[in-house]
Amino acid sequence: GRRRLQGVAVVHDLLVTLEEVFHGCTKHMKITRSRLNPDGRSLRTEDKVLNVVVKKGWKEGTKITFPREGDETPNNIPADVAFVLKDKKHPHYKRDGSNIIYTAKITLKEALCGCTVNVPTLDNRTMPLPCSDVIKPGAIRRLRGEGLPHAKTPSTRGDLVVEFQVVFPDRIPPQSKEIIKHSLAGC
Amino acid sequence: GRRRLQGVAVVHDLLVTLEEVFHGCTKHMKITRSRLNPDGRSLRTEDKVLNVVVKKGWKEGTKITFPREGDETPNNIPADVAFVLKDKKHPHYKRDGSNIIYTAKITLKEALCGCTVNVPTLDNRTMPLPCSDVIKPGAIRRLRGEGLPHAKTPSTRGDLVVEFQVVFPDRIPPQSKEIIKHSLAGC
């Protein structure tokens, strides 16, 4: 027979939310491709749904390949179709491997005088995080095991890292300045 | 005659201080190279000093080429010798194009209650920078024209950018906390 060649894989982005990575999910991806009719020469266009299984904790860049699901022509072996995992932007968290980072905005008063921050978790709980010591800008606290599952051992999880952003007031009245100056004199 | 080939350029880093870039300078770079003896076959090793002129404001990555100063052999055209500008780490500043960035560490008390920061300049002066408003962490102030000369128009200069880092106290005594809490209540 003739030697048939295979083209390079057709690669699609597969956008997933952190919640989907947390629980694992199956994405139903519709592709459109050409297939050869029984006459061996004419082509038809057909839709097909590929079920892409995303396992718990999979990282951005993970590639799932479906062999030979690309366009068919009289002369070629259909190319592979591949999906590459890509994280959707999350309203609360940034991802860092198996850890997720939550930025807690607190006021200067809260940073200096104490507060309790309500941290949202991936499974829709709220964890109260009491802060009694001075919180410095950029300081972090870890809620261990509240991050994403580790891809290789999904029974264990990364951390939810709380990173503090301290919001300063735009101005402080002169009389308050004087009082604060004296209160902070020994610090 | 025979066709003679030239090898790829020999590239060296040329480390310069920000002060050298500010004033312009000539660096005397000793290279060691092979040269052909008059017999046309045997080689000798010789040292040579290349004078590399660094003009005011030149950026990292600027390449200065000395044609055919590389090793000579019976069959080859000597390669070019090139120097690529690289900034030395500076104790006070980071470079950002024609701007230089100075990180001013101030205490929380200074950030809230006002202070004067003494900013060192490239030409060894000190510029007092009075700060009366609240300074937020990461805030910047520009001393215009106190940066590096622009390479193309060395009579004009970039800015000295002062970036504030606010150092928080490790702890605040409980009675001071109460006072500060009330002082910041309306802010």
Least confident interval from A48-57, A74-83, A160-169: A74-83
Q: Residues of B with CB below 8 A from A134's CB?
A: 168-172
| A79 and chain B in contact, CB less than 8 A | no
Provide, as residue numbers in chain B, all residues whose Cβ is less than 8 Å from the Cβ of A184.
107-109, 112-113, 169, 172, 176, 180
- Report the share of chain A in percent with pLDDT over 70: 99
Verify whether the Cβ–Cβ distance A171 to B187 is below 8 Å: yes
The pLDDT confidence band at residue B99, using thresholds 50, 70 and 90, is very high
Q: Is the pLDDT of residue B6 over 90?
A: no
DSSP B71-135: ---SSEEPPPEEEEEEEPP-SSEEEETTEEEEEEEEEHHHHHH-EEEEEEPTTS-EEEEEE-S--
pLDDT tens-digit map of A18-43: 999 999 999 999 999 999 999 989 99
> Which residue is closest to A170 within chain B, CA to CA?
B134
> Which of B114, B170, B178 comes nearest A134 by C-beta?
B170
What pLDDT sits at residue B64?
97
What are A75's two structure tokens? 């002369």
Residue of A117, A122, A129 whose CA lies nearest to A157: A122
Look-up of token digits 């499974």: A123
Structure tokens, B155: 């009579």
Q: What is the DSSP letter of A37?
A: -
pLDDT band at B63; cut points 50, 70, 90? very high
pLDDT single digits (tens) B131-183? 999 999 999 999 999 999 999 999 999 999 999 999 999 999 999 999 999 99
Largest CA distance in chain A: 93
Burial, B126: exposed, middle or buried (Cβ in 10 Å; 0-12, 13-18, 19+)?
exposed
Which band of pLDDT confidence, cut at 50, 70 and 90, is reported for residue A153?
very high
What does the mean pLDDT of chain A come to?
95
What pLDDT is stored for residue B139 in this prediction?
Answer: 97
Q: Using the predicted structure, report yes or no on whether residue B1 has a pLDDT greater than 60.
A: no
* pLDDT above 70: residue A2: no
Place of tokens 């800015």: B159
Helix H or strand E encompassing B20: helix B18-23
For B1, the token pair is 């005659």
B111 vs A contacts (CB less than 8 Å): 168
Q: How many CB atoms lie within 10 A of CB A124?
A: 7
Q: What domains can be seen in chain A, in order of their start residue? A: 5-87 (2.60.260.20), 93-183 (2.60.260.20)
Of B138, B185, B139, B135, nearest to A138 by C-alpha is: B138
Say if residue A1's pLDDT is above 60: no
Running DSSP on this structure, what letter comes out for residue B138? T
Q: What is the pLDDT of residue A75?
A: 87
- Chain A residues with CB under 8 Å of B134 CB are 168-172
pLDDT digits (tens, 9 = 90+) for A122-138: 999 999 999 999 999 99
Residues in chain B: 187
Mean pLDDT of chain B: 95
Contact B181 A113 (CB under 8 A): yes
Question: Going by C-beta distance under 8 Å and a sequence separation of 6 or more, which residues neighbour residue A137?
Answer: A111, A164, A165, A166, B137, B166, B168
Predicted pLDDT of residue B186: 78
* Angle at A80 (CA atoms; ends A74, A82), nearest 5 degrees: 150
A160-163: list long-range contacts, CB under 8 Å, 24+ apart.
Answer: A160/A93, A160/A99, A160/A100, A160/A102, A160/A119, A160/A121, A160/A122, A160/A127, A161/A96, A161/A99, A161/A100, A161/A101, A161/A102, A162/A102, A162/A104, A162/A117, A162/A119, A162/A129, A163/A101, A163/A102, A163/A103, A163/A104, A163/A138, A163/A139
* pLDDT tens, residue by residue, B24-43: 999 999 999 999 999 989 99
Q: Is B165 on the interface with A (CB under 8 A)?
A: no
Query: Across the interface, do B172 and A183 touch by the CB < 8 Å criterion?
Result: yes
Quick one: average pLDDT of B12-33? 97
Average pLDDT over residues A142-146: 97
